[in-house]
Amino acid sequence: MYTGSIHDVELQNFFTSLTLSNIGLIGEIDELLADNDYANAFFANQDLVSTNLMESNLETVNRICTSLELDYSLLDSLDREELLFIAYQYPRLGGEAVYRARAILGIDVDDTEIAFRIRSDLGRSIKDNFIVIPNPSTGEFKVAYSLMEDEIAWLELYDNLGKIISSKMVNNNSTFINFKESRNMSGVYNLKIKTSTGFVANKKVVILK
């Protein structure tokens, strides 16, 4: 960009740095996808070095889009798990990729507080917006969840005897949490979420050692 001013070099250096950064690379990938140039989009996406959650989500969605050449009928179970994990994040934290993941999966996640005003809807929404990835796992997995503003919840992992072996408190400032239970033996465990508004949901977690 040249304007004929004394700032031309500075401006050109600025735009060059943007082009070489993740911002420029993401823009290039978008253009390649729009042109149906899936091979170059795939390789460009591999050069994306994720520095935050939004970029990490974009890298995942772009990788799936390019490898399938936008034919989402070819999604396998792993692709769906990765997309579900992104789809249930709050868009303000997960970025544009959250909406793209929802569109690919054909799901409509209501992350507004309007849907939480009716008691029965709240219980249903928490259950639906509570997922474990991967499942089965070797003891290390992520839990994605959705809470109301100012709501807190407790995630508790129980063994098959009903003994609590891990507990974590979460709030709506995040949309997922990592579990790492290397001490556990193989088996089926029960993961329970209990919110400060009095609702409870359960998931079966399979751990294979």
The pLDDT value given to residue 11:
56
Low-confidence ranges of the chain (pLDDT < 70): 1-22, 49-51, 110-129, 182-184
Instruction: Write down all domains in the chain, each with its CATH number in brackets.
Output: 8-105 (no CATH), 114-207 (2.60.40.10)
SS3 (DSSP) at 95: coil
pLDDT for 8 equals: 55
Burial 142-180 (b: 16+ CB within 10 A, else e): bbbbbbbeebebebbbbbeeeeeebeeebebeebbeebe
Q: Which pLDDT score is estimated for 88?
A: 77
What pLDDT score does 120 carry? 39
**DSSP track, 67-80:** HHTT-GGG--HHHH
Quote the pLDDT of residue 196. Answer: 75
CA dihedral 180, 182, 184, 190 (to 10 degrees): 10
In angstroms, the CA 94 to CA 63 distance is 16
Yes or no: say if 90 and 146 are a contact pair by the CB < 8 Å rule: yes
**How far apart, in whole angstroms, are the C-alpha atoms of residue 133 and residue 119?**
27
**In this predicted structure, what is the pLDDT of residue 18?**
45
* pLDDT value for 34: 84
State the pLDDT at residue 183.
67
CB count within 10 Å of CB 72 equals: 16
Cβ(191)–Cβ(143) below 8 Å: yes
Selection from 45, 139, 137, 147 nearest residue 88 by Cα = 147
